[in-house]
Amino acid sequence: MDGIPAQVVEILGRTGMRGESSSVKVRVLAGDDRGRIIRRNVVGPIDVGDQLLLLDSSREAKALDRR
């Protein structure tokens, strides 16, 4: 299975019912959206500089609802 590489540039906060996932900003490193920064939700431990393989680089997660 192929993926689109992306690098985490900022961790925005925790999300999900129990805080099990993180909302992060990633920079797309290849493909049609190369250089674009998008927001994605990631499950599991994550840190700035980590690389992800995205199945779809055009989808973007909604902003966190701060209450």
How large is the average pLDDT for residues 47-51?
Answer: 95
Within-domain flag for 48: yes
Cβ atoms of 35 and 6 closer than 8 Å: no
* C-alpha distance across the termini of the chain, in Å: 39
Whole-prediction pTM? 0.83
What is the total count of domains within the chain?
1
Domain of 19, CATH number, reads 2.40.50.140
The backbone region for 3, taken as left when phi is positive above 0, alpha when psi lies in -120 to 50, beta otherwise, is beta
pLDDT digits (tens, 9 = 90+) for 1-41: 589 999 999 999 988 788 888 999 999 999 888 999 999 99
DSSP 8-class letter at 30: S
Does residue 66 belong to any structural domain of this protein? no
Domain range spanning residue 22?
4-54
The 10s digit of each residue's pLDDT in 52-64 is 999 988 888 887 6
Residue 39 lies in a domain: yes
